[in-house]
Structure 1
């Protein structure tokens, strides 16, 4: 029986650097916008087209050696990312048109780099090219011809090795974002906790120093993972705990990464409105980012010990669903008063945080989760929120995000609200009311003890409803690149 899903992880374009243009390869040229002093007169026509140079503006040239002109604005590196993403989408559309017209499908194109392009420009351009054309479609149709290779052309042959070195890192970072997108986009009738665990084990296989252990519902019950079992108790698909361990020789620093893995979220008995429920297949985007990041960290052979934990469950509605008013005992013994079964992410994270800290004794802990809709109100849908007990760790996260093009904003852990999560029937209250993102973070803080900890709430940027930069509608893979870069900062 044919697998109804496209391959997971999907295959990225091949990127190569050369000083030579192969005959017959369609060519794209990058064009900077004219300065204010020059105005429109600063750009000459190319093949009958006067380029704008506006970042992300792609124009088709009807005659001459160049087929596309892609604007890079004022030449800032981030504009190269926008140009690369828009270009790969335009070239893919041209390929589709050629095929429909009965012409021979081209599978490669070349991009001519400006003479002043540096390594940072090549890096940003590569991110755009690799991720801007991302597609995930479940269809009975045969795959259409698609692009396979992009050749970056430089006039400086001596620069080729340096650019190739840049691309080695970018390929893994882009692959992490793409893999995280694949996992989050997969439909939940296939993406059960068991599927997520099996896929993780398969993809991690063969990577040196990386192992995956999958814990089933019987093990979770024996060990006392009350939060995971409560959330997953209403579903016919039982929960799993996915544990990734990357153990390079000689590593002295150990980081614990924990990701929310709710493979579908109905809200449980506190059921969600129907209008947006179909989007809840991406409610495991935090777990997807952890899985993809640990795989990339191992593939890059970073000299840092990393453990990844993804508590995976489906929050469903049935006679065995957990209820508002229940008291749940977590791993380690702490009890939670349940106020809202739709606040399930913090329930599964609490178990995993205590377990990971107790077992692995890490130097720092970072969790990632689509935790609260409140963060979309606070920061919009393109910026992630960072809550942290350690200033240096918070700064590492935001700086790592800057380096890979993901925006983060430090949020406060307000001590005046800390008492609101203290319970009366149990130790803590799960959903006491108040500012949602902050209260959720304060709840999680109750389970991390004294270890430096950062909580990344990605409810806003984890999915998109329109195209921008290297993002297309659907899951964005947000946080995967930041986590890899964060770990690299400890190397």
Structure 2
């Protein structure tokens, strides 16, 4: 792998092949068997991730070409690391290698061949441990992508809940609550949103409680398995993307599994309210007043603002029942965040500066960018209801007022709200991301738990 000091250096030439040295520039070098040289730009850790992703894509393309031409599929690649590669560089490289070649396709065709083994050549004895940790982070991202990419004719609320229970691992206890339990306990928000669908809602409750843990983190993820907008129906253009509207819930499920697999010494409770927001004679309506778990009421203004309705129930329930030290929710919540921050940066709202910093720093360490947004108190009064306790869709900037609405259900605890509406999906390759669900937020949640422990 070539690593010039910056991207403006003179190109290198290796055995007649011109290499720019830019991160992600991968070239095939002639010789016996396939060989590649990959540029690393200035050698920053994030450039290793970009290069790892580009390299694995190049390897898969070469492998597919060999098979198409009648050759034998090679399944292992050996990769020599630069001497200057540190622990952070290795972590980022492995993330790129494991995630850059991710594919999701429902097809009758045989799967395309992929490389099964990548051997890292290095004298650093710490590499195996770094690879194991990076592999757990990559697995969390990949599982999040798998869940979010699954089409909604398969992904009912019951399917998502049952899948969470199946993949959680032996260290995580999972309880799935059905619509009868939700009704008995007063989960009015989840029942209202899910009431228009023939597929009833569920609540996923995951518990990881290692011996000796002194801190307790509550994770809450939006699990809307498909979102038509309800009676406030969405335009047809883009509605097909709403299969990924449970990306926040998927990130919470995958992160909890990874936290347990890594044996992190922090207690985690994860809640994912699962519902399908559909249109029928039993759909909830604008103008309804919904009573949430714990008794607080919401004036419904727009049935397409369904995510905050289910999160409100789960937040109130999780805080009252489990008394956590920290609360973090993740959701594809508002289109406003896509306008504000684009498609590669998550919106971070927080009631506590230390928790906000911990989330942002955790994201930076695992290659996920966050930008802290303000909880503007001048808009807080807009959330107050006239006919109920709070308004679902108050006037003002959409991302901020949605966060202020959720804050009403957090009981004053240190709380962070992650709005991932922008970076949860992608239409093209960049860095380790591929088209479709990106898996954004899962690695941040794992790293956050590690920092809290």
Tell me how large the CA RMSD over aligned residues is. Answer: 1.2
Q: Runs of at least 4 residues of structure 1 off by over 4 A?
A: 34-38
1:72 pairs with 40, 50, 67, which one?
40
- The offset of 1:63, in angstroms, is 2.5
1:146 pairs with 105, 109, 114, which one?
114
2:290 pairs with 328, 346, 362, which one?
328
Contact 1:464–1:472 at 8 Å: present in 2 too? yes
Map of 1:9 onto structure 2: none
- The offset of 1:64, in angstroms, is 5.7
Give deviations 1:120-173, integer Å, cap 9, x for gaps.
21111101000000001000112232211111112x2xx1x3000111110101
Give the SS at the match of 1:237: coil
Contact 1:241–1:311 at 8 Å: present in 2 too? yes
Matches within 5 A, 1:450-469: 450-469=412-431
Give the SS at the match of 1:416: helix
Tell me the TM-score normalised to structure 1 length.
Answer: 0.91
Map of 2:388 onto structure 1: 426
Map of 1:197 onto structure 2: 161
- The offset of 1:66, in angstroms, is 6.5
CA distance in 1, matches of 2:415, 2:83: 44
CA distance in 1, matches of 2:222, 2:353: 23
1:478 pairs with 407, 422, 440, which one?
440
1:225 pairs with 187, 199, 216, which one?
187
2:141 pairs with 174, 177, 180, which one?
177
CA distance in 1, matches of 2:367, 2:107: 32
Give deviations 1:278-308, integer Å, cap 9, x for gaps.
0000000000000000000000010000000
Do residues 253 (structure 1) and 212 (structure 2) align? no
CA distance in 2, matches of 1:36, 1:201: 47
Unaligned stretches of 5+ in structure 2? none
Do residues 351 (structure 1) and 319 (structure 2) align? no
- The offset of 1:65, in angstroms, is 7.1
Contact 1:47–1:66 at 8 Å: present in 2 too? no
Give the SS at the match of 2:224: strand
Do residues 287 (structure 1) and 287 (structure 2) align? no
CA distance in 1, matches of 2:3, 2:406: 47
Do residues 133 (structure 1) and 101 (structure 2) align? yes
CA distance in 2, matches of 1:54, 1:66: 21
Decide which moves more: 50-59 or 176-185. Answer: 50-59
**Structure 2 CA distance for partners of 1:35 and 1:278, relative to 1, 3 Å:** closer
- The offset of 1:433, in angstroms, is 2.3
CA distance in 1, matches of 2:354, 2:346: 18
2:4 pairs with 17, 20, 33, which one?
33
Give deviations 1:304-332, integer Å, cap 9, x for gaps.
00000000000000010000000100000
Do residues 116 (structure 1) and 87 (structure 2) align? no
Give the SS at the match of 1:489: helix
Contact 1:48–1:63 at 8 Å: present in 2 too? no
Tell me the TM-score normalised to structure 2 length.
Answer: 0.98
Give the SS at the match of 2:236: coil
Give the SS at the match of 2:17: coil
Give deviations 1:413-470, integer Å, cap 9, x for gaps.
1110001011111111001221000000010011111111111100000011111000
Contact 1:368–1:456 at 8 Å: present in 2 too? yes
Do residues 435 (structure 1) and 405 (structure 2) align? no
2:75 pairs with 92, 95, 107, which one?
107
CA distance in 2, matches of 1:64, 1:73: 27
Give the SS at the match of 1:146: coil
- The offset of 1:57, in angstroms, is 0.6
- The offset of 1:474, in angstroms, is 0.5
